[in-house]
Structure 1
Amino acid sequence: MITMTGKTIRRWWALFALPTFAAFVIGFVVPFVMGVYLSFCNFTTVTDAEFVGLENYTRALQDGEFLRSLVFTTLMTIVTTVVINVAAFAIAYMLTKKIKGSTIFRSVFFMPNLIGGIILGYIWLLLLNGVLAHWSRSITYSGVYGFWGIVILVCWQQIGYMMIIYIAGLQSLPTDVLEAAAVDGATGSQTMFKIIVPLMMPSITVCSFLTVTNGFKLFDQNLALTNGAPSNTSEGIALNIYRTFYGRVGWEGVGQAKAVLFFVLVAVIAVIQNKLTTSKEVSA
């Protein structure tokens, strides 16, 4: 029976894979190729595109707001990546210990990840403005307030998700190695940094990859919390691309060029980050 099923699958696998493959090509590959082509054109719709070469890329790189949003996003991503992973690892480590109510705590920490980014943005807009009201300020008063407001929001949302990944990694650690370290008299810090952290590198690789890419792709939280105010100083790169494409007449090609540059940037950073963390992984 198993042999017959295997033969059937090998014979008809293409038929079953075709719908998913067609959806991938239609929904991703074709729009991506068209987007790259349109980044070299002036256009208002895909039917009136006029090829202009590298002009859009030149205008994009000369746009001060684009470069400022790139710096803003990079700094925000660095801060959130460090805070999220350190906090998530620490919480996961505590919740893998035998403490009362650990299941409830896991659910509570994970719940923010279930809320949409737009809703979270408006929730934290009310919360932060309530705190800042003591100094007669608002979250949109300065780029500094906006920066740290976004950092708080992103960390609050993503810590619980990364915590789940770290819990899974901690629960799969080989107990014999930890017991051997205890027998040999290893201290808590030695066990953590010499054994647990190296063995947890696969989980760290996944979580750092997710937090880096999520940081650069951040859009809806930025839109709801600050909307780039004041004067676009708290504007992330994704929001800047959106404003360029939809808010500046005649800049559609530039917006598309920014999107291509954004894709290349995130891809390069993700590959470098993945290489760095993967190189530190050890086998159990």
Structure 2
Amino acid sequence: MHNKNRTMTTMAGKTIRKWWALFSLPTLAAFVIGFVVPFIMGIWLSLCRFTTVTDAKFIGFGNYSAALADAEFWHALWYTIAFTIITTVIVNVAAFAIAVMLTKAIRGANIFRSVFFMPNLIGGIILGYIWMLLLNGVLQHWGKSITFSGTYGFWGMVILMCWQQIGYMMIIYIAGLQSMPGDVLEAASVDGASRTQTLFRITLPLMMPSITVCTFLSVTNGFKMFDQNLALTNGAPSNTSELVALNIYRTFYGRAGFEGVGQAKAVIFFIIVAIIAVIQNKLTTSKEVSA
């Protein structure tokens, strides 16, 4: 029986090695058509003046000069960076704390996990309108609204983002905590380590793979947020609560003849986010330890 299973496994391995290209072709074709080709075309169009992809005329780096000279783009960029830093810290600290609490033997832990995760299942546009109603209901007591100033819009988006993302990151942290080696924690307890020492010297170092994933997701989600921004404030007042994704959208679709500038902004934004994501990933990965 053992030899028969080994023979079948060997035959399956030979078949996979022979036909692997055929099986991977659909996925590769979808990746090329859905990502590589549009990405290359996007870079080309950022160097052109166009209204559709068929009438593009090469103009060099003029679109990039116009994009970098746009004061609203720089405001949106710094606004987005501040938003991403704050939400990344709050989301991960809160998610980790809740995960630690819910991995302990408490009554109704599974129910609480479901409740915290549920906001992540709601679409961003719907969340934006829900929170606009809630925040305006609070602010109306002072005669204000969520679109009264960019500051209100900023903190409104922070609340929305954290409320939506904490539950998702909590699930990842719970998985990491449950996979930690129990003997290491027991050894620390026997050696007389306090809870604070156990947290900072054992738990957090062993949780770095989960922290790497969660911080990466938080950073990318913060930078690319669009639909919540559109629904909650739509950039009001006077585009001061506008994140970069919304600024690119408004430039591309809201200003005739500026399609190339909007595309150039998108390329610049991609480069910035890619560099930040790589640096963040390197920093957190370098702190990972093996159990």
In which range does the TM-score fall when normalised by the shorter chain?
A: over 0.9
Aligned partner of residue 131 in structure 1, secondary structure:
helix
Alignment of 1:120-269 (within 5 A): 120-269=127-276
- Deviation for aligned residue 1:133: 1.0
Among residues 19, 36, 40, which one is paired with 2:26 in the alignment?
19
Aligned partner of residue 46 in structure 1, secondary structure:
coil
Aligned-partner Cα distance in 1 for 2:287–2:269:
28
- The aligned length equals 284
Alignment of 1:22-101 (within 5 A): 22-101=29-108
Q: In structure 2, what residue type is equivalent to 1:30? A: V
Give the TM-score taking structure 1 as reference length: 0.99
Aligned-partner Cα distance in 2 for 1:2–1:204:
37
Give the TM-score taking structure 2 as reference length: 0.97
- Deviation for aligned residue 1:10: 1.2
User: What corresponds to 1:10 in structure 2?
Assistant: 17
User: What corresponds to 2:5 in structure 1?
Assistant: none
Aligned-partner Cα distance in 2 for 1:103–1:111:
12
Deviations 1:79-131 (A, max 9, x none): 00000000000000000000000000000000000000000001101110111
Q: In structure 1, what residue type is equivalent to 2:185? A: L
- Deviation for aligned residue 1:11: 1.1
Deviations 1:40-67 (A, max 9, x none): 0101111111111111000000000000
- Deviation for aligned residue 1:272: 0.2
Q: In structure 2, what residue type is equivalent to 1:70? A: L
Aligned-partner Cα distance in 1 for 2:82–2:70:
19
- Deviation for aligned residue 1:5: 1.5
Aligned-partner Cα distance in 1 for 2:229–2:163:
14
- Deviation for aligned residue 1:139: 0.3
Deviations 1:152-173 (A, max 9, x none): 0000000000000000000011
Unaligned residue ranges in structure 2 (runs of 5+): 1-7
Aligned-partner Cα distance in 1 for 2:146–2:166:
22
User: What corresponds to 2:4 in structure 1?
Assistant: none
Q: In structure 2, what residue type is equivalent to 1:95? A: L
- Deviation for aligned residue 1:4: 1.6
Aligned-partner Cα distance in 2 for 1:14–1:277:
35
Q: In structure 2, what residue type is equivalent to 1:12? A: W
- Deviation for aligned residue 1:13: 1.2
Aligned-partner Cα distance in 2 for 1:209–1:228:
26
- Deviation for aligned residue 1:281: 0.8
Aligned-partner Cα distance in 2 for 1:194–1:131:
42
Aligned-partner Cα distance in 2 for 1:130–1:275:
43
Aligned partner of residue 259 in structure 1, secondary structure:
helix
User: What corresponds to 1:273 in structure 2?
Assistant: 280
Aligned partner of residue 90 in structure 2, secondary structure:
helix
Aligned partner of residue 159 in structure 1, secondary structure:
helix
Aligned-partner Cα distance in 2 for 1:28–1:261:
17
Aligned-partner Cα distance in 1 for 2:169–2:123:
17
- Identity among equivalent positions (%) equals 78
Of stretches 139-148 and 19-28 in structure 1, the one that deviates more from structure 2 is 19-28
Unaligned residue ranges in structure 1 (runs of 5+): none
Aligned-partner Cα distance in 2 for 1:83–1:19:
40
Alignment RMSD (CA, Å) = 0.6
